[in-house]
Amino acid sequence: MKSRYQGVIFIIISAFFFALMNLFVKLSGDLPTMQKAFFRNAVAALVALVLLLRDPKQFKTVKGNWLWLIIRAVAGTVGVVLNFYAIDRIGIADASMLNKLSPFFAIVFSFFLLKEKPKLIEWIAVLVAFAGSVFVVRPTLGVEVIPALCGLVGGMMAGLAYAFVRKATQNGASRNLVIFFFSAFSSLVLLPFLIAGYKPMEWWQLLFLLLSGLSAAGGQVFITLAYSKAPAKEISVFDYSIVIFTAILGVIFLNEIPELFSYIGYGIIITAAIIIWIYHLRRDKKVKELKETEKKSKE
C-alpha cells in the first residue's frame, strides 16, 4: 500500500516535469524534430550518468537485462521522436493527452509481456480510452491528421517502453541505469540525423532545448521510480495530471486553447482512467478485509 502511494506522488511529479519539457520543446521554435529529440536525450543521459557514478555498482545491474533495456530504449526513442513531431504541429495539451495514452498501452503490453492479467473492467476502460482518443485525433482523409496520429503512435511506443521499464526493474536493473541506457542509446541513434540536418540555433533556442533535457531527466527519474513502486494499472490515472499542467502552460505561454472536441476526448480518457483506479481501490479494500477476517477466525 505504501509503495502505491509513493508511486502516485512520483508519477504526478513526473507529469509536471514532462509538461515543462513539452513547453520548452515548443518554445525552442522552428528546429528539426531530430535535433530537438537529440538535445532532450543527451542532457538526460548526462544527468543519469552523474547519478550512476555516485554508485558505480549500479552498472552491474545490466546483467540479465540487456534485452529489456534495448527494447525499452528503441520503443522510447521512437516514442520521443513522434511525440516531439506532434508537439510542433498541434497544441501541447492535445499532444500530451495522446502521449499519455501510454498507461493504457502499458496495461495491454503488460498483459502480453509481463503476464499481468487485467480484469474485464480494465479492458473496457482501455477501449473507452481509445474511443476518447478519436475526439482528440479527429481523423480525416487529409494530411492534417498525420501529426495527431504520430502522437497516438508515440503514446503506444511509450506504453511499450514503460512495460519494459517495469520488466527490467523487477529483474534487478537500477532505475538510474534504465534512464541512462535509454537516453544514451537514443542520443547515439539520433546523432547521425542531427549531423545531417543540423540547423544553427539562437542562444535562446539552445537554452530552451537544454531546459527540455533537464525537465525530461526529472520526468524520467520520477516515472521510473513510479513504475518500479507499483504496477501501471494501479497508478496510471495520476499520469493524466500532465493534461492539467500542459493546458495551463499552453494558455499562459503559448496562447493555445484546446478545441471542444479535445475537451470531450480528455474527459472520456480521464474517466476511463478513473474507473480503473476506483476499481483497484475497492478490490484492494476487499482483499484487505478478507485477510483481516481470516486472521480473526484463526485466532
Looking at mean pLDDT, say which of 29-43, 111-125, 229-243 comes out highest.
Answer: 29-43
> By the 8 A CB rule, do 179 and 44 touch?
yes
In three state form, how does the secondary structure of 24-83 look? Answer: HHHHCCCCCHHHHHHHHHHHHHHHHHHHHHCCHHHHHHHCCCHHHHHHHHHHHHHHHHHH
- Cα–Cα distance measured from residue 101 to residue 135, given in angstroms and rounded to the nearest whole number: 13
Over residues 139-183, the pLDDT tens digits come to 665 667 888 889 989 988 988 887 888 788 888 998 888 889 999
Helix or strand (DSSP H, E) at 253: none
> By the 8 A CB rule, do 224 and 76 touch?
no
Nearest to 134, CA basis, from 160, 114, 152, 119: 152
Over residues 228-247, the pLDDT tens digits come to 787 766 777 787 888 889 98
State residue 22's pLDDT score. 92
Average pLDDT on 275-288 reads: 79
- Cα–Cα distance measured from residue 99 to residue 73, given in angstroms and rounded to the nearest whole number: 16
Looking at mean pLDDT, say which of 5-19, 189-203, 234-248, 260-274 comes out highest.
Answer: 189-203
Average pLDDT on 108-119 reads: 75
Average pLDDT on 82-92 reads: 91
Nearest to 216, CA basis, from 45, 28, 50: 45
Q: How many CB atoms lie within 10 A of CB 121?
A: 14
- Cα–Cα distance measured from residue 276 to residue 273, given in angstroms and rounded to the nearest whole number: 5
Whether residue 116 is predicted with pLDDT greater than 80 in this model: the reply is no
> By the 8 A CB rule, do 148 and 155 touch?
no
